[in-house]
Amino acid sequence: MPWSKFDIEMMARAIKLAKRGQYTTRPNPSVGCVLTVNETVVGEGFHIAAGGPHAEVHALAMAGERAVGATAYVTLEPCSHYGRTPPCAEALINAKVARVVVAVTDPNPQVSGRGIEMLQQAGIKVEINLLQADAANINPGFMTRMRSGLPKVTIKLAASIDGKTALSNGVSKWITGPEARRDVQRMRARHCAVITGIETVLADDPSLTVRHAELGGLGQTLTIEQVRQPLRVVLDSQARLPSSAALFNATSPILLVSCLEYTDAQKALWPAHVSHLLLAPQNGRVPLRDLLQHLGKQCNEVMVEAGATLAGAFMAEQLADELVLYQAPKLLGSQGRNLVKLPDYTEMSQLPSMKLLEQRAVGQDNRFIFNLRF
């Protein structure tokens, strides 16, 4: 279908609007909507937070009576079910729009196409797949989760140019510069969950929270209240996490995942925001696929901020979608700690497949983003 220049511009505008929800809509997808009459915008909006109005509702409220006969550009197929809000397809029908242009159909196979069907049955002209890839990229985790039940998994690593994450004595502050560390804060703010391992907790005692003051420019866009803290997930197969861990100081949710039960004495010291998941071990460790299946119930995108062993396990088991690597222009030398533990390969053909998606300077460092599903 040959799209008009105006159609393309309006969908691009809806996509731009949708992106404004990227840090706040989870576990809902980020969606944008633009309403036009005679090539003039009469309403627009985006979804801000789960439980609040969807993008179409915002746009229709702005347009009022002018929505009659309008074209609606929506980045995702309008919903057809009653959830916390009434279905958007119904709202568009009631407002008497004449045409709906959809970028991406709903990725959930159980509801995909139903919203479009509702609209068509009401006599509305529906066209789909305009700027489809761009619109899907706004919600990669939502797309993945709706299709497979698993969240999108991004591994974050930071190292020197010779692939070392710390000196032999464990000193790692700081290999990367402040800009890269701020970038990691923005990554955390975008993710539903941050997964780490007990070894990292015992060694570095991180808080794994988003610190508003360290968000850089994003801190001007999002208020402290709007910043959503990720679920902090600690893989602790042997139930060793001490109650003194800095993690417990922040009040955002913590999920402890172990293969052994914690003692009542341990649990008694946990604050109220801690929950626990017991999983049967696989090779003595937390089974990663089971963990992701659990997280997939509520998380679109999860990031792994862990040491070489856990990061390597996600890669070797092909459970990770992307790798974000911050690389500092420094040499730590062969005695430093290695970036990622992988099997002892004997041929180059065995290496993990990866494709460079993006490379750019972040302060003094380079940030590489690799697609691991290539």
What residues are annotated to the active site? 56
Minimum distance, C-beta of residue 361 to a copy of itself, in the bound complex (Å): 8
Q: Which is nearest to 208 in space by CA: 227, 225, 233? A: 233
Tell me, what amino acid is at 77?
E
Distance CA 87, CA 90 (A): 5
Binding-site string for a copy of itself from residue 159 to residue 198, where x marks contact by CB under 8 A and - marks none: xxxxxx--xxx-x-xxx-----------------------
State in angstroms the smallest separation of the CB of 209 from a copy of itself: 25
Site for a copy of itself in 318-347 (CB under 8 A): 325, 327, 329-336, 338-347
Determine if the peptide bond prior to 3 is cis (ω within 30°).
no
Q: How far is the CB of 1 from a copy of itself (least distance, A)?
A: 37
Q: Is 368 in the site for a copy of itself (CB under 8 A)?
A: yes
Q: Which of 39-47, 48-56, 257-265, 350-358 is the region at the interface with a copy of itself (rule: CB under 8 A)?
A: 350-358
In the complex, least distance from residue 325 CB atom to a copy of itself, rounded to whole angstroms = 7
- Output the DSSP codes for 331-350: ---TTSEES------SSGGG
Residue 93 CB, shortest distance to a copy of itself, in Å, is 50
Residue 50 makes contact with a copy of itself by CB under 8 A: no
Q: Which is nearer to a copy of itself, 241 or 332 (CB)?
A: 332
Q: Which one of 117-125, 157-165, 220-228, 241-249 is the stretch in contact with a copy of itself (CB under 8 A)?
A: 157-165
Q: Which residues of 264-298 are buried (b: 16+ CB within 10 A; e: fewer)?
A: eebeeebeeebebeebeeeeebbbbeebbebbbee
In the complex with a copy of itself, the residue whose CB is nearer, 205 or 358, is 358
Distance from C-alpha of 181 to C-alpha of 326, rounded to nearest angstrom: 9
3-state helix/strand/coil string of 30-75: CCEEEEEECCEEEEEEECCCCCCCCHHHHHHHHHHHHHCCCEEEEE
Within 8 A by CB and 6+ apart from 212, the residues are: 219, 222, 224, 227
Residues that bind a copy of itself (CB under 8 A): 159-164, 167-169, 171, 173-175, 308, 312, 315, 325, 327, 329-336, 338-348, 351-352, 354, 356, 359, 366, 368, 370
